[in-house]
Chains A and B, each alone.
Chain A
Amino acid sequence: MAEVAKREPTTAAVNAGEAAALAPLVDIFETGDGITVQAEMPGVSKDRLNVQADRNGLLLEGDIVIDMPQGIEAVYADVRATRYRRSFNLSGELDTDRIEATLKDGVLTVHIPKRAEFTPRKIEVRVD
Chain B
Amino acid sequence: MYGSFYGSFDGGAVNGLRQLESELDQILERWAPSTGIRSPGRGAFPPVNVGFTADRVDVYVFAAGLDPKSIDVTVQQNLLVLSGRRGIASDDTADYYRKERFEGEFRRVITLPDDVDVDKVAAKYRDGVLHVTVQRREAARPRQISVQ
Contact = CB atoms under 8 A, between A and B. Distances in A.
Interface of A: 1, 3-5, 8-11, 25-32, 36, 38, 40-45, 66-79, 104-107
B51 A29 contact: no
A47 to B, nearest CB: 11
B51 A75 contact: yes
Contacts of A36: 94
Nearest to B49: A77
Interface residues of B, number: 45
A79 B101 contact: no
3 A-B pairs with the lowest CB-CB distances in the bound complex, closest first? A106-B128, A106-B64, A42-B128
Contacts of A42: 62-64, 127-129
B111 to A, nearest CB: 9
Interface in B102-117: 102, 110
Contacts of B56: 69
A32 B91 CA distance: 12
- Most chain A C-beta atoms within 10 Å of own C-beta, residue among B24, B36, B65: B65
B44 to A, nearest CB: 8
Contact of A27 (B33, B54, B98, B125): B98
A74 B26 CA distance: 20
Contacts of A77: 32, 49-50
Contact of A76 (B50, B90, B101, B125): B50
Contact of B91 (A9, A31, A72): A31
Nearest to B97: A28
A51 to B, nearest CB: 16
B63 to A, nearest CB: 7
A28 B95 CA distance: 9
Given A42-B64, A42-B127, A66-B129, A74 B100 contact: no
B118 interface: no
Given A27-B88, A107-B64, A75 B131 contact: no
30 contacts: A4-B49, A8-B32, A8-B33, A11-B24, A25-B100, A25-B102, A26-B98, A26-B101, A27-B88, A27-B90, A28-B96, A28-B97, A30-B95, A31-B93, A40-B128, A41-B64, A42-B128, A43-B62, A43-B129, A68-B58, A71-B54, A72-B52, A73-B52, A75-B33, A76-B49, A76-B50, A76-B110, A104-B65, A105-B128, A106-B62
